[in-house]
Structure 1
């Protein structure tokens, strides 16, 4: 869809059912177009974009031109593409007053507004609308006429008149007539199908919608719309969204016309699945503590998306690695912090970025009290205890040797109890008692 909205101006000659004809699309989606709206014309048809021939006021104007351009001059424009022929006519009016109608097929039951617009910012005090020669509303403070809901009798030629009260221009001004055609809904069995089935598609993938008619004969024309705005997305029985974006979700329907009647399909709900990046850690949950020296591996995956997917790892907001797996190995306290991965997908040679998914943050806290640290502490404690015991033994042996090295006179006699010592002189006390 390329994000661009354009409006189809109905082909004057309808091709066979399903056949593609050259279409001329205009943005903004109003007819007649006015150059002060900065109008863009786009030619759609078979062949290459460089093979477009443009015609202005019935004369060849631009050979081998681009498929689109911005209008700077008023006039009648057509384009030609080899293989699909000449497009319908688009009129760009540069008049001072225009009455504009939405440039899309108008169906019974639609809500339509006609708007009366002045080229310059003039002071308008009165607005009148006409269908044919019949005046619909004498005075209207607004410059829009609402036809809601549309009926077949609303078809006809409309014009507007305004009373301009300004120093430059004063008096009545009248627009050129514009034709409003209300189409009857009489075809039956218009339905929309999707590929992939279910109209659920991943961001950046391709979605193809197909419009089919169960009952209806003659040449058919197809238009595609989204929601209730009636904005045209494409023509033909198929609508291809090559790279869907997250804003492409919504209800899509097709309108089929045989030239006399128009029928609209039941809306099909299209859901664009936005990718979500997930981070897992081995071992453990998303937010937890690990021990220094543990082997930690982070893995990133995408729930929805198409290959090739590029993964980028961030540590505390800074890029550290790429790839779906981040091997931290035996970690240290410096590995603490937040981790997250960014998943991106690029398709096509133009490097168009389809999606960018950011995973939740993973909080990793590395603690130094690992089993290895505990084992070292236990072994160190045992070694210190052994050294203390060894020092105690050495100290005991040293004291024993000192005691053994004392003089004999300093030691008490052996074999004789101290209680048997006499109380005589010192020499007597040192002699043992005689036994009579």
Structure 2
């Protein structure tokens, strides 16, 4: 029952791999038919090259030399030796030895999972009879081995991994004692949840132009596996090793990355890791906003600083005539006056890379508040005009005061009584003495005055 559950798990994982379309997403491998390893020449073994790339573009090698059967995905072996195949995109496969020995120990050509049942078989050349068979793990004879050609191990445990051999008496016309080559058997623990990703720099955040290394890690006790790397939204195979290194990353390298691990029959997939390529700030600009309209003394003015590109967080610093005056994307000028004249710039900054050790800055073009007459800005001319107006009013008041003072003096002279004229020797005049010594009538005064005049 334990073996059945293990095989069921393998079937489920294999169906999962086929559903995801991952048959071509592995490193190049050689599949065997019949599915036993090492393969033997008298079984008329068929080798099939599996990997990504264009179908029919396989190159075969025997003992390191091209076999001369380019373009064929499958070949039938007629000679013993070491075979390899090469597929564009995934490279050359691990070597596969085809034996023609007197005695061979074979194990199933499949991934052996913990909990499975596995059968080892000891075979003689050309299927001759073999007797008195014993099985060994390294140099230790296995307890429970029976006088036969097969050995069953159930349930498989990680401790069953190791090198195995068999020995026995091969009988044909004559009998001879023979010992097989060692065969390595690896028991795998392969839970789908055992695959995880890590990144350097940590967190998957990397500055534009830097390098990023992703590592695919599997649970302890797994066997030798093949790896493939994928990014969501891209059908391209990014790599086939446990590490994926991205050199000089660009902003199009951002996305969700996954690692898929295969044991040849089954596939496990990691959770996605989000990679973010941090972009330095660039093209800082100042938006005048209300400054495009008439601005009067006492008005409020708001400047806005922004960048066309740049990964958050971005900080903004405002300079007035080269001196820092404020921070933040907005600069508000309240009750604008002459002191606000001059040049304004904003500096956009972001820190990228591991621990923010790389600082990028973008300086906007200068924005100048002109101080010329007629300008819609508040200008020095406005202040000078106000001073002149005050002086003119003051002069007017002084002139008016002087004019009023002279007019008032003139009116005062007109209202005062005339002063008596000084007496003259030539002018006739009536005197009191003249009137005193002569008898007079009232009319005499008139006549006397008339005569003198």
Same fold (TM over 0.5): no
TM-score (ref. length: structure 2): 0.38
Structure of greater Rg? 2
- Which structure's residues are more often helix, by fraction? 2
